[in-house]
Amino acid sequence: MTTTGNDTKAVRNGRDVTSEIAYLTRSLKAPALRDSVARLADRARSEGWTHEEYLAACLQREVAARDSHGAEGRIRAARFPSRKSLEDFDFDHQRSVKRETISHLGTLDFVVGKENVIFLGPPGTGKTHLATGLGIRACQAGHRVAFATAAQWVTRLAEAHANGRLADELTRLSRIPLIIVDEIGYIPFEPEAANLFFQFISGRYEHASVIVTSNKPFGRWGEVFGDDTVAAAIIDRLVHHAEVISLKGDSYRMRGRDLGRVPTASTGE
């Protein structure tokens, strides 16, 4: 009978096919694909998927696994000070920023468009949290990201300069699609540092995105950079294609507390 013949063939092939898939997925270095083949085949049979639908579902699992692995590596490489997500941000507490504005930035159109984002506001209002949340989104979407404070960036640039590698370093940095410069304004810049920082920002202009945070309004960046002209040039480069978001209010850390009390511990502002 034909059915018996087919069954025999299916059993024989079933054995061959299982080991063949194990071999092929090993060659492809596709463990998620290997793990999904049998499980999804059961679903495909019970739900009547076409062959193409089944193939797409298997491949999709492998792609998703690779994307998330890549994201984890990019998040580690970015050196965020802590993991903060846009989902964890409490917009009911921080009323001065619209949820829709951040959701829109979260689509990462600004990275693709090589635009900047600037968060201004007093300490504790959520600037670093939002910058990090956007950075993590970018990592998840496949973009390389690098995070450091303004002081750390300047130290890095000064080292490269001292070693005669500044041009190389600026070129290397200009290839990273999103750089986050946290805490402009906490430490004033020496003239040499301000000049390096200007070159750094200029190198990214219309080329790659920057997110910056600052506790000082633009009007006080002259003090930060020690020179009004340099500050104006930096601001000009940054704001030309940028979303500027001003955060207001008391520190989130002090919410619900007696503000007369001296905080016992602070985790690095």
Stretch that binds Mg ion, among 12-20, 83-91, 127-135, 139-147 (CB under 5 A): 127-135
| Binding flag, residue 132, Mg ion (CB under 5 A) | no
Counting residues that bind Mg ion (by CB under 5 A) gives 2
Considering only 7, 72, 190, 269, the residue that binds ligand ADP (CB under 6 A) is 269
Residue 70 beta carbon to ligand ADP: minimum distance, rounded to whole angstroms: 25
- Please tell me the distance from the alpha carbon of residue 245 to that of residue 265, in angstroms, as a whole number: 28
Tell me which of 110, 120, 124, 208 binds ligand ADP, using CB under 6 A. 124
Of the pair 52, 88, the CB lying nearest ligand ADP is at 88
Shortest Å, Cβ 241 to Mg ion: 23
Which of these segments, 10-18, 49-57, 98-106, 123-131, binds ligand ADP (CB under 6 A)? Answer: 123-131
The position carrying tokens 């941000």 is 89
- Count of residues near ligand ADP by CB under 6 A: 18
Among 106, 126, 177, 185, binds ligand ADP (CB under 6 A): 126
Q: By CB under 6 A, name the one of 34, 61, 74, 84 that touches ligand ADP.
A: 84
Sites for ligand ADP among residues 197-236 (CB under 6 A)? 213
